[in-house]
Structure 1
Amino acid sequence: MTHAMNEARDVPERTAAQSSHGEGGGRLRRGRLRIYLGAAPGVGKTLAMLQAATELLRQGVDLRVGSLDCADDAARGELRMRLAALPGGREAAGELDLDALLARPPALLLVDRLARANPPGSRHAQRWQDVQELLAAGIDVHATLDVSHLESLKNRVEALTGQPVTETLPDWLLEEAHEVLLIDCLPGELRDFAPTTLAALRALALQVVAGRADSEVQRRYRPSGREAPAVLGRLLVAVDGDEQSEQLVRHASQVARRRQLPWTLVHVDDGRARGEESRRLLQAAQRLAERLGGEVVGLLGDEVADTLLRHARERRASVLLVGGHRRRWFGRGVVERLLRRARGLEIGVLAAEEAVSVPSFAVRGFVAGPLDYALALLATLLASAVAWGFSRMLALQNISLVFLAAVLLVAVRSGFGPALCCALLSFFAYDLLFIAPTFSLIVAHRVDVLGLLFFLLMAALTGNLATRQRRQMQALRETQAETAALLDLTRKLSAATDRRAVLAAAVEQFAAWRDLDVRLLGPDGAGALRVEAGVAGDLGKSERAAAEWVWQHELPAGLGTDTLPDGRWWWWPLSGERGPLALLGIAPRDGRPLPASRRHRLVALCQPLAQALARAQLAEELQAARLRGETEQLRSALLASVSHDLRTPLTVMHGAIDSLLTLDGQIAAADRRELLESTRDEAERLDRYIQNLLDMTRLGHGGLKLERDWVAPADIVASSLQRLRPVLASFRLETRIAGELPLLHVHAALIEQALVNVLENAARFSPPGGRLRVAVDSDGGELRLSVSDQGPGIPPAEREKIFDMFYTAARGDRGGPGTGLGLAICQGILGAHGGRVTVGEGLDGQGATLTLHLPLQPQPPGESERDDEAPVLP
């Protein structure tokens, strides 16, 4: 057994202060948590915890065992020997006695399986919540934990092991721990795991411990105000729109893979716009980084080196890779500034294999046109006129401010090129009109030469700064627009309840981008893709091939990518945990590929869209599963009733026919008529049973739906009592129906059968001459049909079991044991209608009351059942 981190002996600081729990005492600080972390069960976490506890016990620490859960028989014997030296170890069970621990708190408590769920009825749902309460009370806790139980790793562990993870705890608990020890063992010692699976789990455990170590380093450095070094680190690769960018990205990917580092492509926008070729090269490098598994980040900053270093500190980067050419963006000065200002950051410079072309910069966000330079000329003329008009009232130095204002105006309205032109024109106008000798470019005084040069410098700098400010303002507006679009889409999707509504909300959101055509594709049920929303029409051969490829591989393809780029559509998969849910198709109307910034905005909008589609799919599946379960329950109950409900009428009919055949001449006419009527009644009863059985069989196979219709509750009660007139003849029957009841939208025959089953059950268990009561009322959006009797009642422990098939409570059963299917059929019928059956107390403290709860639907206009319209009950 080895420890990945050095285990520092943790002697509790409060050993000498344990008497603080006496009267009036209390813990002065929060308890400390030590976690023994392992990659999998069986690595020896519990044994390591007990070994350390034995040493602390010899030092006089007030130590107690809270819980121990060891399923390994071999380890259990060693645990017994170690527990012999620990107080409370022999009595320790699988669960924590929280109240007893708080009543007499120890200095140190041992807790096994920190992520385990508590039994029902406990104060907290999970054991780690008990530990939080113990820590708040000042008790130190040593606990064991498998890395598979961390919430953030749940999906990855399930994918690795193929087994569901049912018990998890939040990751912040690991960060809160005072100490985390990694317990490991040789792979061959664990036979329950495949070598590849164990290797992956061990790698996860190492990553978790390394990540916690990085956080611990930062936490310890923070009080001193010093900058903490990175432990895990990250690689940043800074690119510009030049021919070396893709080469730099590939090299960064290889370095990151060799060093096992996450990596990010960074581009700094310093306010200067770039030409078309430069933008194309930059977008190509960003797409390559995404394909190679890197992250793409865009930054805004006036000074490239400072922006890169600031971002490296924020991301805890350890390596910064830049290009080695001598051009402006990453010129020699930038590299030198990085080397001079970086502290503890590795700077890598990749020399170009051949001469790299200079990235072409436009004059501003677009190429300046004649109107922009005309604006510069007009601004200079206006500034000259204003300055000439105020020249008698203003000093010479103040007149220059008028021309600076003109330069600033042009910079804000146009860009750096026109602003520089305005600065030069203002320079000559200022010299010509206001510097002696006037109307001449000759400068008589040397001090005026310095003033003119200073004016030209300030005009150029002011124009440059104003242009950058305008560019940054545009970028901020784009970011704000992206955030607003994301919030708007999220709001619309939150109100969508099904797939169609989600797709409609997405199309409505994307319709704001008028220069794009949008399509959303989904499966048509036959293995092909069809247009579900957006631009209608058939897909071409190349477009369909690209869409099908994206659906199969869950990767983007089409226009602007390296996969099937010949079409005019760019396809992006909207995927969930189980595969693609839909495809988003974007077609720029100008036919040009989308720039990286717009693709990133679209991808940001696709994430909540995919989540909404997954939520809608889950809701549909849950609804379908519920209906299938209820239908199967009802069908199974009715099919199982063949041996019960059909046998009784067949027996009666068989006996009557035998009597007629055997005693034909000896039976009186009245008796003969009674036998024939009995045979007819049982035949009709048998016909109803068979019809319901056939209907539910077809319903279970999807061939029949519940034939719902509006029916009065009193009609159902009257029909049920009429059918059971012979059975109920020996009882005192009471009916209580509310004065005004809403109509039910149900399958009337099935609800009648459910009520008949409940009435038959009440009659079978009630004594002769006893009371039976049928009550109908409504409240809270549901209607209740209650049947009460004076039988032996149903104990609370059996009230849930009576609805199970073939379960019979024989106490008081005058009609024999039966098969116990009537109430199971009743529950199945009510479940198919979205209702339920409950059991309560009977009449006068005796018997039981079975209540059928049926949900009420919005009533048809002008329809309700009043007492003066209700049918007369038998």
Structure 2
Amino acid sequence: MATERELDRLPDPDALPALAGREGRGKLKVFLGAAPGVGKTYAMLAAAQRLKAEGGDVVVGLAETHGRAETAAFLAGQEVLPRKKIPCRGRELEAFDIDAALKRRPALIVVDEFAHANPPDSRHPKRWQDVEELLDAGLDVWTTLNIQHLESLAEVVSRFIGVAVRETVPDRVLQRADDVVLVDITPDELIQRLHEGKVYLPETARRATQNFFTPRNLTALRELALRRTADRVDDQMVDLLRQHAIEGPWDTSEHLLVCVAADSQAEMVVNAGARLATRLNASWVVVHVAPETHAETDPARIRAMDRAFRLAKRLGAEAASLSSSDMIAEVLRYARRENVTQIMVGRARGAAWRRWLRRDFAIALVRRSLDIPVHVIAMPDAADHVAMPPRKRRLDAREMQWRGLFGSVAAVAVAVPIADSLKRLVGVHNVSMVFLLAVVVCAERFGLWSAVAASLLSYLAYSFFVTEPIFSFTVAAPADFLSLLAFLIVSILTSSLAGRVHDKSEEVRARARYTELLYDFSRKLSAAPKLDDALWAAAAHLHKARGGTIVFLLPQGDELRLAAAWPPTDEVSAGEMSAARWAFAKREAAGWRTDTLPNLPFQFRPLITPRGAVGVCGFEPRELSEPLSPEDERSLTAMLDQTALAIDRSVLVDEAVRSAALEENEKLRTTLLSSLSHDLKTPLSSITGAVTALRELGDRMPAEDRRDLLASIEEEAGRLARFVANLLDMSRLESGAVKVRGDFLDPTEIVRGAVERARKAFPGMRIETSLARDLPFIRGDAGLLEQVLFNLLDNAHKYGGEAGATIHARQEGQFVVLSVTDEGPGIKPGDLERIFEKFYRGGRPDGRKAGTGLGLSICKGLVEAMGGTIEAQSPAMRRRGARILARLPVTAMEKELKA
């Protein structure tokens, strides 16, 4: 057994899944540089040429030499894939042909300029996504990258260099690289290369040295490249040590939470969080929290939040939306639940009084976060910055604010003449309740802020129109001042309570609508009896809830088929089908507002269950330029999850039915093989023994013995023939190949034919007949009905022995009843229905199983094919025997003949 010391030196289990996840995936090597011109492509192609010379399977998928002769020289003798031509705005653009690369499948493929953007209508917007697909397909890839194209550093580089970085690569892609090769030269050497024309043309080089290629900029970029490469090497070393169980000590891993608001600064906070997470080597999550009483309706804020979440996912973070009346408590609750070790939040600059009035979210978070460190970063004071609203509430939509303000003015304006009338005509001096009524009406109709405004207006109106001296804000008596102050306090408290009740009621109504929507959707899915019905119900309900076209595609073999659509359609375009295949294969969304085929007007999402993807749903957004709101996202996700479960349930039911059928078939097959092994072996053994005796003894055998052996051979051969005939008849019945003729039949003739045939087959069996006179004709097939009676006599011979059987024929109403009765031991009451099942065999008098269990099953099939019924009765007479009755409908032949 392993000692405790040896157990401590086992590989870290947290490191092994990452190692196992690389199985089947290609390896990525990135040639990283601080700036263009340092020699990344040169170094990559030189290494590729050396590997090619050593016999490696190397293909150059794409290489940008930019006219540099020394770099282009390394392409000589290399296999270079032709570039794909893509028409765009009246001209053709060249791009990397990923399909040709996947078809060629080399061991190593070289793809230059990792951060480059692809032409419109390409499968992926970015080249790094093409590389990811190659890696997933198991191909090794070499590529090049400048440090400023890392997404978390792009903003920093843009700020201190003054050049916008438009093409970026998520940091997680570089973190997952197997090798990072730093291609580095000093700034002076790079500027010298620039002057010598080895980087750009002379005019371009002159402008570059004045703007980008300055010693200060190049030094800063070089520092970033060196730091990032050092971090990468450190990560690799840690991974190797953990995987090989080399002793630590190891620090506890960090987990960073980044709080963002729905404003234009959200992306800046996300980038800052990515940089901090990289420095901490931490996993991180981006969280947006909002009051639960109000849904986000401002399109600009929804777009800002959507951009921030998409950026976070590209940078390797998770994203989550939270809602609560106490936003600070919800953030801290989430942080503790997810084992967050550090929190980052942005704080806008601005006047202190403005931050105090808005109850700054960052300050409140710092004060209440006693056990988790909080990083507060200074951000520009954006006009749309969202701070924490007073009393943990957020202002409603702008139009609702104006409506509430007008409502409060109108309510107070109506309260003034009512109060004046009560004072003058009725003599009521305390009319404050009239103004409180206006406050409550505003709170109930428009919410908290309208009620607060009504409170202040009521206070002013009460002071101006009611308190002496009237038409003046002057208060004559101290008692009146105290009354006004009390009125103000009571009105504000009343407005606050009434506003809270209004907001809570709105929240309850919103949740009720959401719950009702999901309940209705779930009810329709559960009521659908078949998979197609469930899909059509889901498509119609989603269309009703979201608008636009909804399509569902399910796997059929190796392809996806259109299973349901609303409004009904029978085709999906080639581009949309490509996105659907991608979503199904990769288990991630594709199409509109994704990283795969984003120009499509559809977004396709996989329907995922615990057993994997079971289909794809495609939906058309209401507005191509607007992202989904958080509420739409939640409802859509919930509906798709329910649809996926409904599909999975239908698939499981179908599989259960197929499994039951296979189990039954296996049972029947086993029974048939058992029967075959016995019922074929016994007569074959008898025939073989008889033939052997005849051949060996020949004329020495007495003539009587020879006749007995020949009769035995004939009997056993007939038995085999009947057995094979039964198998063929059952096969014909199950396949529907039995063709029943509708001839007029005389039951008497059919009985006589069957009896004569049975006496030849069973010479020692006693067969009696009892036929009624003037039996009517029946319609049927003479051959099949005779076969039924013969099988019944055969069954009586097997179970009744030589005691014999009796055939009765009589008329009962509109039926002719044919029955065969034996004098055997009879049938157990519980087996009266089972004897007509395939392969069921009852016991013989000697206790052995007889026959194959097909005779009575064939009789049942043939009788029913002729429009009759068959049943068994036992005991038949004197508490013994069994009787099988076949009822066949009579025909009015005489009437037909007369007609």
**Normalised by the size of structure 2, how large is the TM-score?**
0.48
**Normalised by the size of structure 1, how large is the TM-score?**
0.50
Whose radius of gyration is greater, 1 or 2? 2
